[in-house]
Amino acid sequence: MAEPTFMQLVPASGPTTARETVDTLALRHPDPDPPPRPYTIANFVASADGRAAFAGRSGTLSDPGDRALFHALRERVDAVIVGTGTLRKERYGRVIPDAERRRRRLAAGRAAEPLAVTATRSGELPLEIPLFASAGSRVVVFAPAVPDLHGVAAAVEHVPLNPAAGTSLASAMAVLSHDHGVQTLLCEGGPTLFGALLHAGLIDELFLTLAPRLAGGDSGPPVTTGPPLPELAELRLVGLLRRGDTLYLRYAVSS
């Protein structure tokens, strides 16, 4: 099937594809003394009234352009982090199911698939989803204690995350970078985990697909949930694509 074509509006250019766009991204800290954690980008689709889900799923807001960017971003990064709510709701499977994409990653000197990462306070992982049933999956779990992994086929490793015991999202991210070699991390949500990462100053970029749809009322969560930030996080528009009535924004996040 032909790849969707976008018009690149910022920086002003011509037609492009998701892969061409993502291939040119630096995805690294510009400062010479970067923080000891992966360069972290978040990717969300939202309705024009700011909802991240409709009828319980984000796919209802998505379109072929959004899906092309979603997969192109996965193809570029070392790891993908998702909260257990989204893992469960969206029934996550292998991060790169497509063999051609896995081949391209290997040819580019990357692992065939990004590491999957999740975070939980309760320790209750959705072990029934295809991600944990696949022997090819590598999963890192940020959790207070080693989770019960009875019957799991995936290779799972534990990284401590227990603020009461002095381990934080920031320290878990540092472990991800130091022990697992993760330099680029893609956060696919959901709103609770994204809110917590934003609060901790751990997000560098936001890719936001603005769907030309209204969800209305409390039809789903907004893009972030949890306590408000102490002050507004300023965004700088560094990229904008358009395809039909949908806008695909790329923001640099200042923290």
Ligand X SMILES: NC(=O)c1ccc[n+]([C@@H]2O[C@H](COP(=O)([O-])OP(=O)(O)OC[C@H]3O[C@@H](n4cnc5c(N)ncnc54)[C@H](OP(=O)(O)O)[C@@H]3O)[C@@H](O)[C@H]2O)c1
Give the interface segment with ligand X, choosing from 28-36, 117-125, 128-136, 239-247 (CB under 6 A). 117-125
- The answer to whether 14 and 7 are in contact (CB under 8 A) is yes
- Among positions 53, 79, 81, 185, the unique one binding ligand X when judged by CB under 6 A: 53
Contacts 24+ apart (CB under 8 A), 166-169: 168/200, 169/119, 169/142, 169/196, 169/197, 169/200, 169/202
Among positions 216-255, residues that touch ligand X (CB under 6 A) are: 220-221, 225
Is the Cβ of residue 17 or residue 86 nearer to ligand X in the bound state? 86
Asked whether position 56 contacts ligand X by CB under 6 A, the answer is yes
Residue (105 or 213) nearer to ligand X, CB: 213
Q: Which of 12, 14, 122, 231 binds ligand X (CB under 6 A)?
A: 122
Indicate which single residue of 6, 191, 206, 210 sits in contact with ligand X (rule: CB under 6 A): 191
Detail the DSSP E strand segments found in the chain.
5-10, 15-17, 39-47, 79-83, 115-119, 138-143, 155-160, 184-187, 205-211, 235-243, 246-253
Q: Is 137 in the site for ligand X (CB under 6 A)?
A: no
Q: Does 120 bind ligand X (CB under 6 A)?
A: yes
Residues at the contact surface with ligand X, assessed by CB under 6 A: 44-46, 52-53, 56-58, 82-86, 89-90, 119-122, 124, 161, 169, 188-193, 196, 220-221, 225
